[in-house]
Structure formats: C-alpha cells, structure tokens
Amino acid sequence: MCAASRPADRPAVPPRVEQRGPFGPLGHRREHRLQPGDIHPVVRIAHRLPGNLNIPERIIFDHELVLIAKGRGEWVLGGVRRPYAMHDLLFIPPFSPHTIVADETAPSEHIAVHFDLAAGIPPASQGLDRRRPYRVTFTHGLEIATQRRLFAGHRLARLLHQVVATHASGHVTGPARSAVHLAEVLLELLAESRGARPGDPGQRDRARVQAIVRHMTENLARPVDHPALERFSGLSPSRLQALFRAVTGHPPLDYLRRLRVEEARRLLADRRLSVKEVGARTGFRDTSHFSKVFRRVDGLSPAHYRDALLAGRQEK
C-alpha cells in the first residue's frame, strides 16, 4: 500500500528486520539463485543515522548495506573479525550472525539500507520475521564482497545517499527511484567480483584516483587547476581525464567542485559562519561564484540551503 492510499490513522510501521542473539544452530538454508538481470530490489529501510554504531549479536531477515560516513571500529561476520573505517561499505546477508562495535573515541555516522534483491525472493510470508533461513546466490560466479573501501565522493556513496533521499521523499515515485539507485549499486558491486573488464579501471588506477581525491580534499581552500593535478599525479592531461571519468564518472575539476560543495554543506550548518566565509574556506573565489556552483550542484543557493537545513533542525 503506498503512502497516498494508507488511511491517516494508520501510520507506517517499520518492518521488524532483525532478531537479537545468542543463537543456536540456524538450520538448513534454502538457496535462491538469481541472475543479475533479475535484480529488482525492494527497499525496506533507508536512513542516515549519527551516533555510535554498536550492534549486539543479531541476525537480519533481509539484506543490508552499511556505509560508514564517519567513525571506525570492528565487526564480526561469519566468525571473522574485521576492522572498519570511514568510507567502508559493509554487506550483511540474511541469517548471518554478526556484531558491530564502534570506537567510541571517534565521531560516528552511517547509512543503512535494508532490502530484498527482488520481490518474491524468498517467497512472501506474513512478515519478515516468519522467514526461515535462506541465502541468495548469483549465476556466472558473481558475488558481493562483504567489505569494500570507497573514498570521499565515490559514485557508490553518492548513489546510496540518493537511495536514502528518494526513499524518504514522500513522493509517489520515491520507492521506485530508490530501488533504481540501489540496483545500480548492487550491479556495480557484482561486476567488481568478475575482475576488470577491458576498459575498466583496475585496483592500481582506483588507488591513484583515491590519492588525487585525498589531495583535493586536503586543499579545498587553495587554487587547484589541471596543471597542478597533473604535477601531483604524474599523469598526462588526457590520461588524468580518462582515468578520473572511468573511476568517478566525472572530470577532475567537476569532481573537485562537488567535493567543495559537499564540504560547504557541512560548514553551512554552523550559523556562526557567513556564506562568504564558507565560500572562502571551500575554495570559491567570490560569493557569486560560490552561489552559482552550489546552485548548479545542489539546486539551491547556499543561503536557501542553510535556511532549509536550520528550519529542519528546529522542527526536530
């Protein structure tokens, strides 16, 4: 039932998607095999949450992606203990006991998306918590890695932000748009498991771009142009352009502008800073240029974005 047709006296109730441990034997898992072309995800929960990410032992009844926006810690999945850090993407399959423990000395924030890979897999029941243990596998030897290191502004991170934004938009097309963005994420993660195809960036190329992005992030307030990036990276102009487009989907300076706008959004939340000061701290030559670029990327002027952000905080 969509939001428009639900009676006003029956608010939406988030589905029960987890069960806390400890667990005994979970029993036989029924396997559902899926082709990539049959992935049409159903998004159940999509939100961005501040605060420490501490999850006692639990299982979930669907799948979950967790993007670490801030913070670090460790998590246990399948009996394997792993560290996690900022920009890590974690994938948690159904009926897989796991725990997540944040390092409480570091500020923490994350995005969590609960979903099924397709409607009817597993077959529908009266509720998620009635499901019996199952797993979903993929044809052609494809699989989704349980942990993937992204970087600031990575395409997958931007898509997950869009999943959250469209899912919470309240628009009649919101659920469909959210599912489309999530399908892009899942298909890209599956494609990576087959290794690099001709023309695809390899691990070395992605590491190069990540180093350039880190350099950009550390120098947002300073003038940065193509010759400066070419000197830093040791790449020719054509190679730098091609590599950046292959890894991020954007040319280098366009990507830099987006990083600057992302940092500007964060600074605009501090009402002690003027719009002019925020623009200067993020590398824009004047307020007019700042406003023009911010509007192009975000759809609002910096002043209007700040007004909307602070008004939303007051409502909360």
For 26-45, b where at least 16 C-beta lie within 10 A, e where not — what string?
A: eeeeeeeebeeeebebbbbe
pLDDT of residue 195: 56
The whole-angstrom distance between residue 208's C-alpha and the CA centroid of its chain comes to 21
- Bridge partner list, 18: 60
Label residue 295 exposed, middle or buried (CB < 10 Å: 0-12, 13-18, 19+): middle
Q: What angle do CA 201, 206, 186 make, to 5 degrees?
A: 75
pLDDT of residue 179: 95
Task: Kindly report the number of other CB atoms within 10 A of residue 59's CB atom.
Answer: 19
Whether this model's pTM surpasses 0.95: no
Residue located via tokens 């600057």:
260
Domains and CATH numbers, the chain: 31-192 (2.60.120.280), 203-315 (1.10.10.60)
Label residue 142 exposed, middle or buried (CB < 10 Å: 0-12, 13-18, 19+): middle
Measured CA to CA, the distance from residue 17 to residue 127 in angstroms comes to 9
Per residue, the 3-state secondary structure of 228-243, as one string, reads HHHHHHCCCHHHHHHH
The dihedral sign for the CA sequence 163, 167, 170, 175: positive
pLDDT of residue 307: 83
For residue 263 the two structure tokens come to: 């940092």
Pairing mode of beta strands 42-50, 109-116: antiparallel
pLDDT of residue 94: 95
CA distance between the termini of the chain: 27
For every one of its 316 residues, what pLDDT tens digit does the chain have, with 9 covering 90 and above? Answer: 334 434 444 445 556 888 887 877 888 889 998 988 899 999 999 999 988 889 999 999 999 999 999 999 999 998 899 999 999 999 999 999 999 999 988 888 999 999 999 998 998 766 888 899 999 999 877 889 999 988 877 889 989 999 999 998 888 888 999 999 999 999 989 887 665 454 556 677 878 888 898 899 899 999 899 999 999 999 999 999 988 887 777 889 998 998 898 889 889 888 899 999 999 999 998 999 999 999 888 778 899 888 877 765 554 4
Q: Are 145 and 73 in contact (CB under 8 A)?
A: no
For residue 312 the two structure tokens come to: 């939303």
pLDDT of residue 9: 42
